Amino acid sequence: MVERTGRRRGRAPVLVGLLAVVLLATACGGDDKAAAPSSGGSTPTEKPVTLRLGYFPNLTHATALVGVEGGIFADVLGASVKLETSTFNAGPAAVEALFNGALDATYIGPNPAINAYAQSHGQAIRIISGATSGGAALVVKPEIADAAGLVGKKLATPQRGNTQDVALRAWLADQGLKTDLEGGGDVNIVPQENAQTLETFRSGAIDGAWVPEPWVSRLVNEGGGKVLVDEASLWPGGRFVTTHLIVRTEFLKDHPAAVKKLLEAQVAANDFVNAKPDEAKALANQGIEKITQKPLSAATIDSAWPRLTFTNDPIASSLVLSAKHATAQGLLEETNLDGIYDLKLLNEVLAAKGAPSVAST
């Protein structure tokens, strides 16, 4: 799903020919360039800069939902940055929009960001902040008790190669179960939009799904499912990046002041979410209703919220492991992620607030 501010609405195109698109974009920027340099600080812009921002109608993107709906982004960006927004169902579609020049920055999961960086040979994007940790799980029919009960079953993920898809495939492999990219193997994996997954789960067309919130709670509360694996249980301290903020490297280089303003807005939105959870829930739900035409129930939000941690820390160590999982599943060629983070401006923003800095390792 894509919704662009200004009443334009349509479905994001499927991510096809991504490498060709990236190589073309890279060529246009100069093939002789190594990875673009760090932002190097902020210089005030002389005229308003348009910043096109993407995010998803998921509670794992509550930072963006609250920032937009609560007017936090608009207030912080002020007259110097004109914000335009688009919404997506899954990360690969958002990356395609970024590569095609339709976006300048987007909230997104780790694996699509890794793919964008790898396929553009380190040219296209930089991760500039964290946003959310946690909030993803495998929900299954109540009669499925363990991994062995998934043999011959059909499970859904939001999109092949997205963060939850990689997590599911990696977990199944750890359980000794085989999958392939065409949906075959011991367990069949099918890509579906999250709203469709709820309907196919209810109808019995699928037996479970690895999804982000609010879909975990909706599959349980509305679909009669149960959580078989809370992804937080698979990570040290339960901390893993679910959503972070990425920016086109060229935009970061050309408009560092606008990016710094966006980061100030990101930090302010997370401060609000953490300080006023009840108001944040209402604003996030308001945003989801605008995008999907259907609000979440209070029970769904209350069930989902404790699984989520809103943090500016991108939890870099979990990104590295996600990349290894994607490589092992044939979704990503082995790649060097050095340079994928540019946290200089974020740490300037945090320092100005007296908050601890975050690391890229």
pLDDT digits 0-9 by tens, 92-151: 889 999 999 999 999 999 988 998 999 899 999 999 999 999 999 999 999 999 999 999
User: Are residues 219 and 252 both part of a single domain?
Assistant: no
Q: Determine, yes or no, domain membership for 358.
A: no
- As a whole number of angstroms, the distance between CA 231 and CA 216 comes to 11
Q: Answer with the residue of higher pLDDT: 361 or 180.
A: 180
Q: In the predicted model, what is the mean pLDDT of residues 147-160? A: 96
Residues 208 and 69 in one domain: no
Q: Residue 60: is its pLDDT beyond 80?
A: yes
Chain segment 230-263, per-residue pLDDT in tens: 999 999 999 999 999 999 999 999 999 999 999 9
Residues 120, 167 share a domain: no
Q: Pick from 211, 238, 265: which residue ends a domain?
A: 238
> Do both 194 and 334 map to the same domain?
no
When divided into structural domains, the chain yields a total of 2
Please tell me the predicted confidence (pLDDT) of residue 145: 97
Of 212, 238, 264, the position where a domain reaches its end is 238
pLDDT at 46: 63
φ/ψ of residue 64, rounded to 5: -70, -45
> What's the pTM value of the predicted model, to 2 decimals?
0.81
Tens digit of each residue's pLDDT (9 = 90 or more) over 3-54 = 444 333 333 333 334 333 333 333 343 333 334 444 444 444 468 999 999 9
Same-domain check for residues 97 and 156 = no
Name the amino acid, one letter, at 327.
T
Which residues form the domain of 155?
Answer: 136-238
Task: Report the share of the chain in percent with pLDDT over 90.
Answer: 78
CATH number for the domain spanning 146: value is 3.40.190.10
337 in the same domain as 245:
yes
CA distance 325 to 329: 6
Tell me the mean pLDDT in the region 252-281: 98
CB 105, CB 274: distance < 8 Å: no
